[in-house]
Amino acid sequence: MSQEFWLFILMVGVFAAGCFALKWPVSVSMLVASVAGALAGGVQDPVRHLVEGTFGYVDTILTIATAMMFMTGFKDSGALEALTAAVIKKFNKWPGILMILLTFVIMVPGMITGSSTASVLTAGAVVAPMFASMGMTAVESGALISIAAILGMIAPPVNIPAMLIGGGIDMPYVGFELPLILLTFPLAIVFALWFGWRKVRHVDRSKVLASLDFSTLNQYGGWRLFSPLILIFVLMILDKAVPSIFGLGMPLIFMLCTMLTWITGKRFNLLQSAKKSIEDVLPVLGILVGVGMFIQIMTATGVRGFIVVNALSVPPALLYVMIAISIPLFGAISAFGSSSVLGVPFMLALLSQDQIIAAASLSLIAAIGDFMPPTALAAIFAAKVVGLEKYGTVLKKLVVPTLIIIVYAILFIVFSKQIRAVL
């Protein structure tokens, strides 16, 4: 076995020991694993490499941080609760459509921030009591919230795993919208009906309607309350359509709309809200910093090249099996890390396919990593918001959906050229 192989085992081993045995945060475990790899691999000037690695995702960190500020402000202004109430009021008589729209509501924060945690902690927390009052069990609610969160994380406009995979092969994050919509929204509809519709259609929803608080919606009106969210989508479209005039960039768009939430709904302490958002999202930001260091050291020691060479030499028959197994499993470390460390080499092996559809599909498989213990970010936070002590029961419910998502994504890769011909 080569030195790179043993270095890889060492780094993953130190990381796993930090996470499992010592119960360190994922980010700190990554830092320690990177230090161990740098020392064992004889990297010259290791501190410089570690610091250099932290810069890998600074722009992504800014986008996620400001997006989370917006989502927390949107929630604190009462708009998120009002949005859910408005959806239930409007579609109360059609349980199927209601469940689908509530699932889309959970997806929105993930779509904007690129983080499943944001979806679960903001919209997931608001929708969870409503799922319970509509007759869904805590386990079913937790499972649906987890799935909606990871689908939101992959749905456009912001998909960090796709950005990481694209960054690894110098492919700009352009033209991903339609493939990502086709990859995520049909699955969201299927799982919304699967988990929710069967239960909800038998429940007397008039009680749910009576329990909703419409005071904020009535006081401020829908247009005013939801205007920051509408403005975000308008500015994002203009940012892409006329970048010379509206090229504001995502962080500035989120900051402007965060300030707007302060005047469009209930008044709240903007500073405390912003601080709370950073506190909630720090573990995700830390993981990004850790992944940056981890990958920098893997690159400096030759471990990354070793993985790329091995991924490229996998026989074609085994390639899809390897993708389906290794990318989600590596997600136990981090879905973002999995995208970068394994997603890029597999993307290189798939260059003969339509590259945008292949990268989008790989990002969906990588997102499954958020279901993988011990980190299992989506499942752990979803279990918390539905009031479950342990997330194991939620994970069991996620086994079949996970397999369906992986098969769906693999089919997209296999038939990427045919799909592109239709798009």
Partner 1 sequence: MFYIYLVILAAVLALTVWVLFDTKKFSLQMTAAMVIVPLLLRLLMIK
Nearer to partner 1, 167 or 251 (CB): 251
Min dist CB 275 to partner 1, Å, is 5
Min dist CB 70 to partner 1, Å, is 12
CB 363 within 8 A of CB 339: yes
Q: How far apart, in Å, are the Cα atoms of 204 and each of 38, 209, 400?
A: 61, 9, 29
Min dist CB 359 to partner 1, Å, is 25
Min dist CB 292 to partner 1, Å, is 8
Nearer to partner 1, 96 or 283 (CB): 283
Alpha-carbon distance of 105 to 99, in angstroms, equals 10
Could you count the other beta carbons within 10 Å of the beta carbon of residue 293? 25
Nearer to partner 1, 285 or 413 (CB): 285
Q: 348-353: long-range contacts at Cβ-Cβ below 8 A with a sequence spacing of 24 or more?
A: 348/169, 348/308, 348/311, 348/312, 349/311, 349/312, 349/314, 349/319, 350/319, 350/413, 351/169, 353/413, 353/416, 353/417
Nearer to partner 1, 151 or 295 (CB): 295
Q: For binding to partner 1 (CB under 8 A), which residues are involved?
A: 24-25, 27-28, 31, 51-52, 54-55, 58, 61-62, 65-66, 247, 249, 251-252, 255, 274-275, 278-279, 282-283, 285-286, 289-290, 292
CB 76 within 8 A of CB 122: no
Alpha-carbon distance of 14 to 28, in angstroms, equals 11
Min dist CB 125 to partner 1, Å, is 19
Nearer to partner 1, 201 or 276 (CB): 276
Nearer to partner 1, 55 or 94 (CB): 55
Nearer to partner 1, 91 or 246 (CB): 246
Nearer to partner 1, 83 or 255 (CB): 255
Alpha-carbon distance of 90 to 136, in angstroms, equals 20
Could you count the other beta carbons within 10 Å of the beta carbon of residue 80? 28
Give the three-state DSSP class for 42. Answer: coil
Min dist CB 251 to partner 1, Å, is 5
CB 333 within 8 A of CB 15: yes
Min dist CB 138 to partner 1, Å, is 26
Which of these, 29, 186, 223, 2, lies nearest to 100 by C-alpha position? 186
Min dist CB 410 to partner 1, Å, is 34
Alpha-carbon distance of 57 to 149, in angstroms, equals 21
Alpha-carbon distance of 287 to 27, in angstroms, equals 5
CB 133 within 8 A of CB 208: yes
Alpha-carbon distance of 303 to 309, in angstroms, equals 10
Nearer to partner 1, 62 or 319 (CB): 62
Q: What type of residue sits at position 110?
A: G
Min dist CB 255 to partner 1, Å, is 6
